[in-house]
Chain A
Amino acid sequence: MKEKEFLILIEAHSGILYKVSRMYMDSEVDQEDLRQDIIFQLWKSIDKFKGDSQFSSWMYRVAINTSITFFKRDKKRPDKAEIDPNLNVADNVERDEKESQLAHFYKAVKMLNKIEKAIILLFIEGYSHDQIAKQLGLSNGNTRVKLNRTKQKIKELIKTQGYEF
């Protein structure tokens, strides 16, 4: 595939890059680094995409795998971000209600481990249990259990932030 075609394809699915990078990284710099790593991995493995699944599914798989291994070698990076107890998202008057809801969600997501982040992201994107299991290489039953636990965990975390879920 030509570079130009590849980049057009990536641009058409750029939402995946932004969603995944925001799920996994806190700072804008880290998110940009992760997006570049994902683009690089996609470029490296684009020949392996045979078209037997949707491009977006394949892109999600590569993006999540890259995110999971992003700081694997760098042991100093925490798996879960520390939440600043003084940070009260709801107090941010500049954000409207919608952004505040999303901010609460991302704040809760930071407390999840890497697999839970992948599971919840794919669930929100409308993937079935079967598809999530395939994407992450888990068994169906395990995916079902993990998804239910993760959903519950997110709800509880959001509730501790004083937000109804």
Chain B
Amino acid sequence: MNFDTIKKEMNDSVNQLPKDEFKIDLSKGKNNPVHMIRRNMKKEMISSSIVMLFFVFYPPILGLKMTALENSAYILFMVLSTVMIHLYIIKLIRFLKKSSRFELNTKDSIKDYIYEVRLTLESYKSYVIAAMILLPVPIYALLSAGSPLNGPKSLNFEKWYTLQLNFNEAVMLIVFYLIYSVAMVWVTRFWTNYLYGKHVTELEKIVSDLDAVD
């Protein structure tokens, strides 16, 4: 054996292969935008589910001392946020199941895929924003809770939670929530674009390239 015979045999073996019809098939491959979207969705589903479930059980794990009100508010709002997060996880699972049946080797099938992914991402953003807007309450309850060593803190959770506020404090709360909500909308959009948007844009470019040749 030598390298010349290997070259000849390599060429022979390639020439003997049945000639496939070549096409751009995005349902195959590991680094195309479709695969990236699927991969990021799977990672996000697992990580967000673990994080939310961990935080639901965070105070008892650390043995934090919470008042009855702090405790009930924490559990209520965390459970609500967790439900929201899991609702979008269900949406993502449904999308992944549905999209795994897409052939993705024609312009129309890629267009259908883009439509489905855009639709899923819009409801994903709504659920994430809704869950994020609930979070300041349990976070404040968590901050107010006393550690086993230092005892309770004086952050007046009850006063803020039951809205026993004077005018200035009420304005402060409204302004905080407005700024926080806008920030969460921006962060969610940025995050969605970072994880998925750029890949969807790449798919749209492929479709427009294919459109241009019709």
Please, which residues of chain A bring their CB within 8 A of the CB of B210?
3
Q: At the interface, yes or no: B11 with Cβ under 8 Å from chain A?
A: yes
Can you list, as one digit per residue, whether each of A42-78 has a CB less than 8 Å from chain B (1) or not (0)? 0100000000000000000000001001110110000
Q: At the interface, yes or no: A10 with Cβ under 8 Å from chain B?
A: yes
User: In whole angstroms, what is the CA distance A34 to B2 when docked?
Assistant: 28
Count of chain B residues with a beta carbon within 8 Å of a chain A beta carbon: 30
Query: How many residue pairs, one in A and one in B, have C-beta atoms under 8 Å apart?
Result: 86
User: In whole angstroms, what is the CA distance A69 to B31 when docked?
Assistant: 9
Please, which residues of chain A bring their CB within 8 A of the CB of B150?
none
Please, which residues of chain A bring their CB within 8 A of the CB of B14?
14-15, 18-19
Asked if A32 and B1 make an inter-chain contact with CB atoms under 8 angstroms apart, the answer reads no
Q: At the interface, yes or no: A37 with Cβ under 8 Å from chain B?
A: yes
Q: At the interface, yes or no: B30 with Cβ under 8 Å from chain A?
A: yes
Q: How large is the interface on A (under 10, 10 to 19, 20 to 34, 35 or more residues)?
A: 35 or more
Asked if A163 and B1 make an inter-chain contact with CB atoms under 8 angstroms apart, the answer reads yes
Asked if B6 and A105 make an inter-chain contact with CB atoms under 8 angstroms apart, the answer reads yes
If A99-B13, A125-B7 touch, whether A2 touches B29 (CB-CB below 8 Å) is no
Q: Is the interface of A mostly helix, strand, loop or mixed?
A: helix
Q: At the interface, yes or no: B122 with Cβ under 8 Å from chain A?
A: no
If A124-B10, A126-B7 touch, whether A37 touches B30 (CB-CB below 8 Å) is yes
Please, which residues of chain A bring their CB within 8 A of the CB of B11?
15
Asked if B10 and A102 make an inter-chain contact with CB atoms under 8 angstroms apart, the answer reads yes
Asked if A19 and B10 make an inter-chain contact with CB atoms under 8 angstroms apart, the answer reads yes
Task: For B22, give its contact among A7, A37, A71, A125 (CB under 8 Å).
Answer: A7
Please, which residues of chain A bring their CB within 8 A of the CB of B48?
none
Q: At the interface, yes or no: B103 with Cβ under 8 Å from chain A?
A: no
Task: For A40, give its contact among B3, B12, B13, B26 (CB under 8 Å).
Answer: B26
Q: At the interface, yes or no: A33 with Cβ under 8 Å from chain B?
A: yes
Q: Which residues of A contact B (CB under 8 A)?
A: 2-4, 7, 10-11, 14-15, 18-19, 32-34, 36-37, 39-41, 43, 66, 69-71, 73-74, 98-99, 101-102, 104-105, 123-126, 151, 158, 163-165
Q: Would you mind naming 23 contact pairs between A and B with Cβ atoms under 8 Å apart?
A: A3-B213, A7-B22, A14-B19, A14-B20, A19-B14, A33-B29, A36-B26, A40-B29, A40-B31, A40-B32, A43-B206, A73-B31, A98-B12, A101-B9, A102-B10, A102-B13, A104-B1, A105-B9, A123-B3, A125-B7, A151-B3, A163-B1, A165-B2
